[in-house]
Amino acid sequence: MQRLRQILFLLLVAALAACATTPASEDPVLIKLDDLDRRLAAVERILANGSLVELTLQADDMERQAAELLGRIETLEYGAEATAGRQRDLYLDLDGRIQQLEQGLQDAVTANARDGATLAPGQLPVPGGTDRDNYDAAFELLKEQRYEEAAMAFLQFLTSFPDSQLADNAQYWLAESYYVTARFEQALQQFQVVIDDYPRSRKVPDALLKIGYCNYELQHWAAARAALKRVQSDYSDTTAARLAEQRLVRMDDEGN
Protein backbone atom coordinates (compact mmCIF):
# COMPACT_ATOMS: atom_id res chain seq x y z
CA MET A 1 0.00 0.00 0.00
CA GLN A 2 2.93 2.35 0.80
CA ARG A 3 4.43 1.54 -2.62
CA LEU A 4 1.18 2.54 -4.29
CA ARG A 5 1.20 5.85 -2.48
CA GLN A 6 4.73 6.54 -3.67
CA ILE A 7 3.74 5.87 -7.26
CA LEU A 8 0.76 8.20 -6.96
CA PHE A 9 3.01 10.91 -5.51
CA LEU A 10 5.48 10.66 -8.40
CA LEU A 11 2.61 10.84 -10.87
CA LEU A 12 1.35 13.93 -9.11
CA VAL A 13 4.77 15.62 -9.25
CA ALA A 14 5.09 14.80 -12.93
CA ALA A 15 1.65 16.14 -13.65
CA LEU A 16 2.44 19.37 -11.82
CA ALA A 17 5.60 19.78 -13.80
CA ALA A 18 3.90 19.15 -17.11
CA CYS A 19 0.97 21.38 -16.40
CA ALA A 20 2.64 24.19 -14.52
CA THR A 21 0.74 26.68 -16.59
CA THR A 22 -2.73 25.10 -15.99
CA PRO A 23 -4.68 26.01 -12.81
CA ALA A 24 -4.88 23.07 -10.38
CA SER A 25 -8.64 23.28 -10.08
CA GLU A 26 -9.04 22.82 -13.87
CA ASP A 27 -6.36 20.27 -14.63
CA PRO A 28 -8.09 16.93 -15.49
CA VAL A 29 -5.08 14.90 -14.48
CA LEU A 30 -5.01 16.46 -11.04
CA ILE A 31 -8.73 15.89 -10.65
CA LYS A 32 -8.27 12.20 -11.52
CA LEU A 33 -5.39 11.85 -9.11
CA ASP A 34 -7.36 13.48 -6.30
CA ASP A 35 -10.24 11.05 -6.91
CA LEU A 36 -7.89 8.06 -6.84
CA ASP A 37 -6.31 9.33 -3.65
CA ARG A 38 -9.68 9.65 -1.92
CA ARG A 39 -10.75 6.16 -2.99
CA LEU A 40 -7.41 4.73 -1.86
CA ALA A 41 -7.82 6.40 1.54
CA ALA A 42 -11.31 4.90 1.92
CA VAL A 43 -9.98 1.40 1.10
CA GLU A 44 -7.18 1.88 3.61
CA ARG A 45 -9.65 2.87 6.33
CA ILE A 46 -11.80 -0.22 5.69
CA LEU A 47 -8.76 -2.50 5.74
CA ALA A 48 -7.36 -0.73 8.82
CA ASN A 49 -10.42 -1.35 11.01
CA GLY A 50 -11.07 -4.78 9.49
CA SER A 51 -14.82 -4.10 9.11
CA LEU A 52 -15.16 -5.64 5.66
CA VAL A 53 -13.29 -8.78 6.65
CA GLU A 54 -15.26 -9.06 9.89
CA LEU A 55 -18.60 -8.68 8.11
CA THR A 56 -17.61 -11.35 5.61
CA LEU A 57 -16.60 -13.71 8.38
CA GLN A 58 -19.85 -13.02 10.27
CA ALA A 59 -21.91 -13.69 7.15
CA ASP A 60 -20.09 -16.98 6.58
CA ASP A 61 -20.64 -17.99 10.20
CA MET A 62 -24.35 -17.13 10.05
CA GLU A 63 -24.75 -19.17 6.88
CA ARG A 64 -23.05 -22.12 8.60
CA GLN A 65 -25.30 -21.82 11.67
CA ALA A 66 -28.42 -21.55 9.50
CA ALA A 67 -27.42 -24.71 7.63
CA GLU A 68 -26.90 -26.54 10.94
CA LEU A 69 -30.27 -25.39 12.28
CA LEU A 70 -32.01 -26.43 9.07
CA GLY A 71 -30.45 -29.86 9.36
CA ARG A 72 -31.58 -30.21 12.97
CA ILE A 73 -35.11 -29.10 12.09
CA GLU A 74 -35.33 -31.65 9.31
CA THR A 75 -34.09 -34.35 11.69
CA LEU A 76 -36.65 -33.37 14.34
CA GLU A 77 -39.47 -33.31 11.79
CA TYR A 78 -38.54 -36.77 10.58
CA GLY A 79 -38.38 -38.07 14.17
CA ALA A 80 -41.76 -36.50 15.03
CA GLU A 81 -43.39 -38.08 12.00
CA ALA A 82 -41.94 -41.46 12.87
CA THR A 83 -43.08 -41.16 16.50
CA ALA A 84 -46.59 -40.12 15.46
CA GLY A 85 -46.76 -43.09 13.11
CA ARG A 86 -45.74 -45.50 15.88
CA GLN A 87 -48.31 -43.96 18.25
CA ARG A 88 -51.09 -44.35 15.66
CA ASP A 89 -50.15 -47.99 15.08
CA LEU A 90 -50.07 -48.66 18.84
CA TYR A 91 -53.44 -46.98 19.36
CA LEU A 92 -55.07 -48.96 16.57
CA ASP A 93 -53.64 -52.20 17.93
CA LEU A 94 -54.85 -51.50 21.48
CA ASP A 95 -58.27 -50.36 20.28
CA GLY A 96 -58.72 -53.55 18.26
CA ARG A 97 -57.72 -55.75 21.17
CA ILE A 98 -60.07 -53.92 23.57
CA GLN A 99 -62.95 -54.31 21.13
CA GLN A 100 -62.25 -58.05 20.92
CA LEU A 101 -62.24 -58.35 24.72
CA GLU A 102 -65.48 -56.36 25.03
CA GLN A 103 -67.18 -58.47 22.39
CA GLY A 104 -66.00 -61.68 24.04
CA LEU A 105 -67.30 -60.50 27.40
CA GLN A 106 -70.66 -59.55 25.94
CA ASP A 107 -70.90 -62.93 24.20
CA ALA A 108 -70.19 -64.65 27.50
CA VAL A 109 -72.95 -62.67 29.24
CA THR A 110 -75.45 -63.56 26.53
CA ALA A 111 -74.46 -67.23 26.54
CA ASN A 112 -74.69 -67.37 30.32
CA ALA A 113 -78.25 -66.06 30.32
CA ARG A 114 -79.31 -68.20 27.34
CA ASP A 115 -77.86 -71.48 28.65
CA GLY A 116 -79.55 -71.17 32.02
CA ALA A 117 -76.41 -71.17 34.14
CA THR A 118 -77.19 -70.79 37.82
CA LEU A 119 -75.78 -68.20 40.19
CA ALA A 120 -74.50 -69.01 43.63
CA PRO A 121 -75.31 -66.59 46.48
CA GLY A 122 -72.74 -63.78 46.55
CA GLN A 123 -71.64 -64.43 42.95
CA LEU A 124 -71.66 -61.75 40.27
CA PRO A 125 -73.12 -62.75 36.89
CA VAL A 126 -69.88 -61.57 35.24
CA PRO A 127 -67.03 -61.99 37.75
CA GLY A 128 -64.35 -59.43 37.01
CA GLY A 129 -66.68 -57.47 34.72
CA THR A 130 -67.66 -53.81 35.01
CA ASP A 131 -70.76 -52.49 36.73
CA ARG A 132 -72.44 -52.14 33.33
CA ASP A 133 -71.60 -55.75 32.41
CA ASN A 134 -73.08 -57.09 35.64
CA TYR A 135 -76.13 -54.84 35.54
CA ASP A 136 -76.94 -55.95 32.00
CA ALA A 137 -76.47 -59.60 32.96
CA ALA A 138 -78.77 -59.25 36.01
CA PHE A 139 -81.39 -57.48 33.94
CA GLU A 140 -81.19 -60.25 31.34
CA LEU A 141 -81.98 -62.77 34.08
CA LEU A 142 -85.02 -60.70 35.03
CA LYS A 143 -86.25 -60.62 31.44
CA GLU A 144 -85.79 -64.39 31.27
CA GLN A 145 -88.12 -64.60 34.31
CA ARG A 146 -85.38 -66.16 36.40
CA TYR A 147 -86.43 -63.98 39.29
CA GLU A 148 -84.59 -65.65 42.14
CA GLU A 149 -81.27 -65.46 40.30
CA ALA A 150 -82.03 -61.93 39.17
CA ALA A 151 -82.60 -60.91 42.81
CA MET A 152 -79.28 -62.48 43.84
CA ALA A 153 -77.54 -60.78 40.94
CA PHE A 154 -78.91 -57.34 41.81
CA LEU A 155 -78.10 -57.84 45.49
CA GLN A 156 -74.50 -58.71 44.67
CA PHE A 157 -74.33 -55.81 42.21
CA LEU A 158 -75.31 -53.37 44.97
CA THR A 159 -72.72 -54.91 47.29
CA SER A 160 -69.93 -54.82 44.70
CA PHE A 161 -70.78 -51.46 43.06
CA PRO A 162 -72.47 -49.28 45.71
CA ASP A 163 -71.35 -46.05 44.02
CA SER A 164 -72.34 -47.02 40.49
CA GLN A 165 -74.58 -44.67 38.53
CA LEU A 166 -76.76 -47.73 37.92
CA ALA A 167 -77.27 -48.43 41.62
CA ASP A 168 -80.74 -46.80 41.79
CA ASN A 169 -81.95 -48.86 38.83
CA ALA A 170 -80.49 -52.04 40.33
CA GLN A 171 -82.26 -51.31 43.61
CA TYR A 172 -85.58 -50.82 41.82
CA TRP A 173 -85.29 -54.04 39.82
CA LEU A 174 -84.29 -55.96 42.94
CA ALA A 175 -87.58 -54.85 44.51
CA GLU A 176 -89.41 -55.69 41.29
CA SER A 177 -88.01 -59.24 41.30
CA TYR A 178 -89.63 -59.71 44.73
CA TYR A 179 -92.89 -58.09 43.68
CA VAL A 180 -93.49 -60.31 40.63
CA THR A 181 -93.00 -63.39 42.79
CA ALA A 182 -95.60 -62.13 45.31
CA ARG A 183 -93.02 -61.51 48.07
CA PHE A 184 -94.76 -58.26 48.89
CA GLU A 185 -93.19 -57.62 52.29
CA GLN A 186 -89.68 -57.87 50.85
CA ALA A 187 -90.67 -55.88 47.80
CA LEU A 188 -92.18 -53.14 49.97
CA GLN A 189 -88.94 -52.78 51.93
CA GLN A 190 -86.78 -52.65 48.81
CA PHE A 191 -89.00 -50.13 47.01
CA GLN A 192 -88.78 -47.94 50.11
CA VAL A 193 -84.96 -48.03 49.81
CA VAL A 194 -85.30 -46.44 46.36
CA ILE A 195 -87.29 -43.57 47.92
CA ASP A 196 -84.94 -43.12 50.87
CA ASP A 197 -81.50 -43.66 49.31
CA TYR A 198 -82.04 -42.32 45.79
CA PRO A 199 -84.51 -39.42 46.15
CA ARG A 200 -83.44 -37.86 42.83
CA SER A 201 -83.70 -41.05 40.82
CA ARG A 202 -86.09 -41.26 37.88
CA LYS A 203 -87.29 -44.51 39.44
CA VAL A 204 -88.85 -42.75 42.45
CA PRO A 205 -92.37 -42.31 40.92
CA ASP A 206 -92.47 -45.99 39.89
CA ALA A 207 -91.13 -47.12 43.26
CA LEU A 208 -93.79 -45.07 45.07
CA LEU A 209 -96.48 -46.57 42.83
CA LYS A 210 -95.27 -50.08 43.66
CA ILE A 211 -95.31 -49.23 47.36
CA GLY A 212 -99.00 -48.50 46.89
CA TYR A 213 -99.45 -51.79 45.02
CA CYS A 214 -97.60 -53.79 47.72
CA ASN A 215 -99.73 -52.27 50.47
CA TYR A 216 -102.82 -53.02 48.39
CA GLU A 217 -101.81 -56.69 48.14
CA LEU A 218 -101.10 -56.76 51.86
CA GLN A 219 -104.51 -55.15 52.46
CA HIS A 220 -102.96 -52.12 54.10
CA TRP A 221 -105.62 -49.90 52.59
CA ALA A 222 -104.73 -46.59 54.24
CA ALA A 223 -101.05 -46.97 53.42
CA ALA A 224 -101.92 -47.96 49.85
CA ARG A 225 -104.12 -44.88 49.38
CA ALA A 226 -101.50 -42.58 50.89
CA ALA A 227 -98.79 -43.81 48.52
CA LEU A 228 -101.02 -43.69 45.43
CA LYS A 229 -102.27 -40.19 46.22
CA ARG A 230 -98.70 -39.01 46.72
CA VAL A 231 -97.82 -40.29 43.26
CA GLN A 232 -100.73 -38.24 41.85
CA SER A 233 -99.77 -35.06 43.68
CA ASP A 234 -95.97 -35.17 43.35
CA TYR A 235 -95.64 -36.71 39.89
CA SER A 236 -98.87 -35.72 38.15
CA ASP A 237 -97.50 -35.78 34.58
CA THR A 238 -96.13 -39.33 34.70
CA THR A 239 -97.43 -42.71 33.66
CA ALA A 240 -97.12 -43.74 37.31
CA ALA A 241 -99.68 -41.06 38.24
CA ARG A 242 -102.22 -42.41 35.70
CA LEU A 243 -101.74 -45.95 36.99
CA ALA A 244 -102.16 -44.71 40.55
CA GLU A 245 -105.48 -43.12 39.60
CA GLN A 246 -106.68 -46.40 38.06
CA ARG A 247 -105.82 -48.33 41.23
CA LEU A 248 -107.58 -45.77 43.41
CA VAL A 249 -110.72 -46.09 41.27
CA ARG A 250 -110.49 -49.86 41.66
CA MET A 251 -110.19 -49.51 45.41
CA ASP A 252 -113.24 -47.24 45.46
CA ASP A 253 -115.21 -49.79 43.44
CA GLU A 254 -114.12 -52.55 45.83
CA GLY A 255 -115.00 -50.45 48.87
CA ASN A 256 -111.44 -50.39 50.11
* CATH number where 246 lies: 1.25.40.10
3-state SS, the chain, equals: CHHHHHHHHHHHHHHHHHCCCCCCCCCHHHHHHHHHHHHHHHHHHHHHHCHHHHHHHHHHHHHHHHHHHHHHHHHHHHHHHHHHHHHHHHHHHHHHHHHHHHHHHHHHHHHHHHCCCCCCCCCCCCCCCCHHHHHHHHHHHHHCCCHHHHHHHHHHHHHHCCCCCCHHHHHHHHHHHHHCCCCHHHHHHHHHHHHHHCCCCCCHHHHHHHHHHHHHHCCCHHHHHHHHHHHHHHCCCCHHHHHHHHHHHHHHHHCC
Q: Once rounded to an integer, what is the mean pLDDT over residues 168-185?
A: 97
In a domain, 149, yes or no: yes
Mean predicted confidence (pLDDT) in 99-124:
56
Of 67-76, 109-118, 239-248, the range with the lowest mean pLDDT is: 109-118
Report if residue 78 sits inside a domain.
no
Rounded Cα distance, 228 and 206, in Å: 10
What's the burial of 141, exposed, middle or buried (CB within 10 Å: 0-12/13-18/19+)?
A: buried
Q: Is the per-residue pLDDT at 116 higher than 60? A: no
Residue 99 lies in a domain: no
Q: How far apart, in Å, do the first and last CA atoms of the chain sit?
A: 132
Is 43 among the domain residues? yes
- Which pTM does this prediction carry? 0.55
Q: Residues 1-8: what's their mean pLDDT? A: 54
45 and 120 assigned to the same domain: no
Structural domain includes residue 55: no
- Judge whether 7 lies within some domain: yes
Would you say 160 and 124 are in contact if contact means Cβ atoms under 8 Å apart? yes
At residue 109 the predicted structure's pLDDT band, cuts being 50, 70 and 90, is very low
Q: Give the chain's domain count.
A: 2
- Any idea which of 3-7, 118-122, 140-144, 160-164 has the lowest mean pLDDT? 3-7
Ramachandran region, residue 238 (left: φ > 0; alpha: ψ -120 to 50; beta: rest): beta
Query: Domain containing 215: what range?
Result: 112-254
What tens digit of pLDDT does each residue of 191-222 get?
999 999 999 999 999 999 999 999 999 999 99
pLDDT above 90: percentage of residues in the chain: 50
Q: Measured between alpha carbons, how far is 256 from 246 in angstroms, rounded to an integer?
A: 14
Task: Tell me the pLDDT of the chain averaged across its residues.
Answer: 78
